């Protein structure tokens, strides 16, 4: 475990209802949510959740409504007291903290942004933004100065003295964001912060959040029900379902290795080309031609074994040189060409492992060869073939695609 | 035979009240002194300046309340505040017979033909307004009549008619009362203000407390129901036993009667504050106190002020009833009217109460109004 863990959540459970004790006992016996509901009438909103959040990352918790994600985020700053478990932020155990210490933490450590903004309708934009500072007892002059600065950061200059009700939804959420940023907290809690905005403004705000994150480097917990948003923003994503975390991983993990059918159902239909990288879809440890040693016979043999008609060539230090085709090799064998050097197509493209599918597609337009995947030293790591890319783009299985290619595309 | 030996409900309560009035005599004496001091102070203040000065002060208060959302001395401010201001001034003037007569004497003098001028005024002012509006589309055309033919407010007509009566010596008696009610009005005002003040001082904190705890709310609510449904006359009986007769039992009974809406609407207002706003405030580390003063009370203000208005109106209605135990003011005159079957006295005093009611209601409502009137 890396040392820069900022927030640790351990075995966190939240139960709503009257007979919490019984429900808690049943939960410890690993009874299911339905059983507990039936027996005690209690709802298990969050069910033994565990995760760590690293400094400076955007951790997205995604799930449909009722999955417990909003309940979960409220436990982090104890707006809601969980039934069981621990929440540790830096050195503080949030759930056992004294009331005064908790207030202190909320003032200094957390900034929270809400789905419905939660702005004070009787105050101006600037005074809303300064609210957190006012609570801390900062002087009027000082807090207003800070508020104006932050309002600038979120691009609302000129609206400082407007009442919040006069602003559009997107602007109101900027105010919400500015208010959360005003006391410069290390941790941002964003509860469906962009869900109430219309799509265009939402995309806009997402971009700005990423922009902002690059500048200010906060630790962000972001709640959303929108997978596209999760994939766009998240360094890591936890998918919740009925109080459980079903899967916790990087966006690419989630897309390429969905933990179960639930996640799979989510992931279907997502535009993956921006997320899936060459490293994931390449054929690792491919058969290759040793440019120094192998002759025509050896190359043809290798092609035969691998069942392909194109192979990558590397030099003695494993550096990628280009591709050879079976036709050219045949010509070499018939001595129409002198050396293997002459048949290497050394203009073929190579990419790094972290190139996304979206970046690879245009390269394929210009070449009929596969694409070599190399590391920074130009050493061959793998090969990306056409069908793997097509599979990512259309979201179908490889066999299906091969069949389509073979039979021609019938509509 | 057992039943005879038992004490009945009413008797038991009576016994309890009797015991309390003796046992806690000192306590009640303290309350008596305090309430008496409050009421007397208010009365002294209200009756201290010349009536005309007081009228102007109260009218100015009305003006401030209704024009405060604009620049006070601007055209818009006057437009928003003029009606209430003039209403208060002339209403109070009506109740102060001596002043009214003095003015009538000065203005009307011995000149018997003033009513002719008044009549001309009645014709001229609407005529001028008609001219102004209708001249563009032709004075005597149909469209001209449509533009200028109607009085903007029927009130205008009433005011002009009153001015006409006022200015004619013959008919001025129609609008002058048979006696002056100024002192009575000010005494009633003092009682209402004192009672409402006490009811709010008790009621608003109680409402805040009830809003924070379901248990307190559950306890307080049936008590309030009881207080509100018990006929108000009934409060007067123990009030006499505890506080003897006069203003104090009147004020105490009034406080009891007018307390509920203050508690209820404060509670309702605070509970009605959007939960997401409260949550946001808490997420930034507000203490309970900061939450209350910076978020809940400001947002609940309209509802709480509606409660204040209700408290004041209930206090006024009870102060009249309280005259049965010797509370001073217009109620006393109404009560005398009932006892002597004096319709004239009853009506005049009753009209005075109506005027005070309108005054209190409008002013207390305007204080809570933070919106500008939409432009017509």
Residues 265-294 of B with CB under 8 A from A: 274, 276-277, 279-287, 290, 294
Mean local confidence (pLDDT), A215-227: 89
Distance CA A358, CA A274 (A): 6
Nearest of A15, A72, A22 to residue A44 by alpha carbon:
A15
A345 or B127, greater pLDDT: A345
Q: Are A140 and B321 a contacting pair, CB within 8 Å?
A: no
A31-to-A49, A71, B22 alpha-carbon distances in Å: 15, 21, 65
Mean local confidence (pLDDT), B201-213: 95
For chain A, the average pLDDT equals 84
Nearest of B371, B368, B373, B365 to residue B76 by alpha carbon:
B373
A398 or B191, greater pLDDT: B191
Number of neighbours of residue A296 by Cβ within 10 angstroms? 20
| Architecture of the structural domain at A278-407 | Roll (3.10)
Confidence of residue B109 (pLDDT cuts 50, 70, 90): low
| Architecture of the structural domain at A53-267 | 3-Layer(aba) Sandwich (3.40)
> Which residues of chain A are at the B interface, by a Cβ-Cβ cutoff of 8 Å?
77, 79, 103-108, 110-112, 114-122, 131-132, 134-136, 179, 183, 189
Decide: helix, strand or coil at residue A76. Answer: helix
Same fold, A53-267 and A278-407: no
Reported pTM = 0.74
Distance CA B366, CA A134 (A): 30
Distance CA A273, CA A395 (A): 10
Reported ipTM exceeds the 0.85 cut:
no
Q: What is the pLDDT of residue B26?
A: 84
A256 CB-contact burial (10 Å; exposed 0-12 / middle 13-18 / buried 19+): middle
The set of residues, in sequence order, having a beta carbon less than 8 Å from that of B229 and lying 6+ positions away, is none
Confidence of residue B2 (pLDDT cuts 50, 70, 90): low
* Residues found in chain B: 376
Instruction: Please say whether the structural domain B182-368 has been given the CATH code 1.25.40.10.
Output: no
Closest to A135 (Cβ–Cβ): which among B274, B285, B299?
A: B285
Contacts of A181 in chain B (CB under 8 A): none
pLDDT in tens, A358-405: 888 888 777 778 888 888 888 888 888 877 777 777 666 666 666 666
Confidence of residue A67 (pLDDT cuts 50, 70, 90): confident
Q: What is the residue extent of each domain of chain B?
A: 51-175, 182-368
Sheet holding A350-352, edge to edge: A283-284, A380-384, A371-374, A350-352
Mean local confidence (pLDDT), A163-177: 89
A350 CB-contact burial (10 Å; exposed 0-12 / middle 13-18 / buried 19+): buried
Q: What is the pLDDT of residue B3?
A: 57
Q: Which of A138-142, A235-239, B105-109 has the lowest mean pLDDT?
A: B105-109
pLDDT in tens, A254-271: 888 888 888 887 777 676
Q: What is the residue extent of each domain of chain A?
A: 53-267, 278-407
pLDDT over 60 at B1, yes or no: no
User: Among A118, A124, A182, A190, which would you mutate to test the B interface (most chain B Cβ atoms within 10 Å of its Cβ)?
Assistant: A118
């Amino acid at each position: 475990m890396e040392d820069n863990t900022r927030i640790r959540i351990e075995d966190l459970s939240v139960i709503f209802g009257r007979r919490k004790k019984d429900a808690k006992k049943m939960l410890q016996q690993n009874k299911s949510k339905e059983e507990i509901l039936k027996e005690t009438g209690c709802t298990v909103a969050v069910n033994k959740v565990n995760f760590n959040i690293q400094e400076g990352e955007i951790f997205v918790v995604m799930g449909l409504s009722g999955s417990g994600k909003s309940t979960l985020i409220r436990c982090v700053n104890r707006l809601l007291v969980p039934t069981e478990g621990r929440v540790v932020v830096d050195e503080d155990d949030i759930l056992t903290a004294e009331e005064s210490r908790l207030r202190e933490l909320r003032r200094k450590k957390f900034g929270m942004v809400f789905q419905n903004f939660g702005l004070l309708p009787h105050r101006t934009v600037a005074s809303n933004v300064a609210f957190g500072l006012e609570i801390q007892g900062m002087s009027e002059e000082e807090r207003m100065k800070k508020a104006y600065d932050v309002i600038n950061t979120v691009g609302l200059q000129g609206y400082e003295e407007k009442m919040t009700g006069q602003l559009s939804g997107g602007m109101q959420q900027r105010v919400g964001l500015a208010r959360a940023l005003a006391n410069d907290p290390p941790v941002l809690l964003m509860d469906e912060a962009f869900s109430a905005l219309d799509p265009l403004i939402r995309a806009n705000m997402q971009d700005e959040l990423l922009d902002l994150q690059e500048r200010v480097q906060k630790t962000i917990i972001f709640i959303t029900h929108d997978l596209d948003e999760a994939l766009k923003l998240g360094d890591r994503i936890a998918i919740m379902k009925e109080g459980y975390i079903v899967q916790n991983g990087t966006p690419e993990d989630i897309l390429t290795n969905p933990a179960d059918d639930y996640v799979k159902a989510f992931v279907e239909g997502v535009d993956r080309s921006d997320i899936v990288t060459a490293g994931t879809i390449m054929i690792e440890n491919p058969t290759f031609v040793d440019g120094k040693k192998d002759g025509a016979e050896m190359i043809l043999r290798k092609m035969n074994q691998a069942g392909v008609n194109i192979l990558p060539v590397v030099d003695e230090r494993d550096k990628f040189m280009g591709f050879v085709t079976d036709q050219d090799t045949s010509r070499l064998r018939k001595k129409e060409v002198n050396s293997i050097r002459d048949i290497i197509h050394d203009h073929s493209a190579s990419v790094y492992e972290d190139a996304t599918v979206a970046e690879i597609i245009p390269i394929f337009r210009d070449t009929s060869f596969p694409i070599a995947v190399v590391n920074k030293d130009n050493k061959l790591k793998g090969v990306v073939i056409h069908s793997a890319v097509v599979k990512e783009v259309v979201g179908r299985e490889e066999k299906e695609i091969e069949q389509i290619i073979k039979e021609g595309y019938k509509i | 035979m057992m039943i005879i030996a038992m004490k009945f409900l009413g008797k038991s309560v009576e016994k309890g009240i009797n015991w309390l009035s003796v046992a806690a005599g000192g306590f009640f004496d303290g309350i008596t002194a305090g309430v008496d001091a409050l009421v007397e102070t208010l009365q002294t203040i209200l009756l201290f300046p010349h009536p005309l000065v007081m009228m102007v002060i109260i009218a100015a208060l009305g003006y401030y309340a209704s024009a405060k959302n604009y620049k006070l001395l601007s055209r818009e401010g006057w437009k928003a505040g003029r009606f209430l201001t003039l209403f208060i001034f002339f209403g109070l003037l009506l109740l102060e017979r001596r002043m009214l007569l003095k003015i009538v004497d000065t203005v009307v003098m011995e000149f018997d033909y003033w009513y002719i001028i008044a009549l001309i005024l009645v014709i001229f002012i609407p005529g001028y307004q008609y001219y102004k509006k209708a001249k563009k589309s032709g004075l005597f055309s149909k469209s001209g009549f449509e533009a200028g033919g109607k009085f903007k407010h029927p009130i205008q007509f009433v005011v002009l008619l009153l001015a006409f009566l006022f200015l004619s010596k013959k008919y001025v008696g129609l609008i002058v009362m048979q006696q002056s009610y100024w002192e009575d009005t000010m005494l009633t005002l003092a009682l209402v203000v004192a009672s409402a003040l006490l009811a709010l001082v008790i009621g608003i904190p109680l409402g805040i407390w009830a809003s924070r705890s379901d248990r307190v709310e559950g306890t307080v609510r049936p008590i309030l129901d009881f207080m509100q449904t018990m006929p108000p006359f009934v409060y007067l009986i123990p009030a006499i036993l505890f506080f003897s007769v006069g203003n104090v039992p009147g004020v105490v009974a009034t406080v009891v009667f007018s307390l509920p809406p203050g508690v209820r609407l404060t509670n309702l207002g605070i509970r009605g504050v959007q939960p997401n706003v409260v949550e946001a405030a808490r997420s930034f580390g507000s203490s309970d106190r900061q939450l209350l003063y910076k978020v809940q009370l400001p947002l609940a203000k309209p509802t709480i002020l509606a409660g204040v208005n209700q408290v004041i109106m209930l206090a006024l209605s009870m102060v009249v009833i309280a005259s049965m135990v010797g509370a001073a003011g217009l109620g006393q005159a109404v009560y005398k009217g009932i006892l002597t079957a004096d319709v004239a006295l009853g009506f005049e005093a009753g009209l005075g109460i109506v005027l005070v009611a309108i005054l209190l209601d409008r002013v207390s409502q305007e204080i809570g109004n933070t919106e500008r009137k939409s432009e017509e």
